[in-house]
Amino acid sequence: MRTLYPEIEPYRTHRIAVDDRHTLYVEECGNPDGLPVIFLHGGPGAGLAPYHRRFFNPARYRIILFDQRGAGRSTPFADLTDNTTWHLVADIETIREQLSVERWVVFGGSWGSTLALAYAQKHPERVLGLVLRGIFLCREEEVRWYYEEGGASWILPEKWQRYISAIPAEERGQMLEAYWRRLSSEDEAVRLAAAKAWGAWEGGGITLEESPETEASFAAPEVALSLARIEAHYFRNHAFLEPGQLLRDVEKLRHIPSTIVHGRYDIICPVKNACDLAAVWPEADLHIVLAGHAASEPAIADVLVQATDRLADRYV
């Protein structure tokens, strides 16, 4: 079984202004002359973590990572102005141009898989390969599953009770909208309390085995506020996508070498998402493994590293 590559530090960081308001934090790791890859983090709003650099052989890859609008070290923090899927797609192109990359591998998990598909369908001529994990298509049924009283509440009942306890009983019929009212409140304390409850719920379902540390990290203010505000903003706007758009436009990707990996017991993004995508995209290499949602779980990391190694063999 493949494991993550050793820890690595950036050899260069950038602050790239993409408009008059938003400035992105961007870093480069690995080999400056290697195969370019862009890493797209989840959420939206979750930001980067150091282990995200480790899915790629640093001797063979030029690893480019960035905090998306409002997330991590990008500024302004947790900001929703001009923050849509299509702004992020344009940001990826700005980064590519600024860093003088002609074509690259696109790697994304969870929300990052949504963004990777949107980017690749918009700019297929720029994509050498796709590596997608924990597929999320931001369909209404997917949002209902985890954030309204869908199936996830039956699997994580005690954590669901903590999630709904932040909302008065009379508002629980529309949890997303109830959270949105608090996450967009002018009262900072109200925003933070709602964000921490949202983050704990999301972190509580991300791994196959219980991980109090992961749950706590998602509930930390420096993660929870951007995660909850930006996710709620995107989810209530259907990720600014047309219904079924990402499945409809798979036709544009058939020629691109692509790997999909999904945990069989992924609670946040059920495996049906990956099966629905693979059903319209039989050319993609689908792997369903014994894992939950997190990219760091051994069975998922194994397939992801194999996929990036194969693409390096193909192009380097």
Active site residues: 110, 266, 293
Cα gap 51→54, rounded to integer Å: 5
Report how far apart, in Å, the C-alpha atoms of 119 and of each of 27, 90, 105, 153, 164 are.
19, 8, 12, 32, 34
Report how far apart, in Å, the C-alpha atoms of 63 and of each of 4, 38, 58, 60, 295 are.
14, 6, 8, 9, 17
- Cross-strand pairs, 261: 133, 287
- What is the Rg, in whole angstroms, of the alpha carbon atoms belonging to the chain? 18
Output phi, psi for 147, to 5 deg: -105, -20
In the 8-state DSSP scheme, what is residue 83?
-
Give the dihedral sign, CA 72/74/75/78: negative
Could you tell me where the DSSP H helices lie in 43-187?
Answer: 85-98, 111-122, 140-147, 152-155, 157-164, 175-183
What SS3 class is residue 275?
helix
Strands 61-66 and 23-30, sheet pairing:
antiparallel
Contacts 24+ apart (CB under 8 A), 10-13: 10/53
Q: What is the distance, to the nearest Å, from the Cα of residue 146 to the centroid of all Cα atoms in its chain?
A: 15
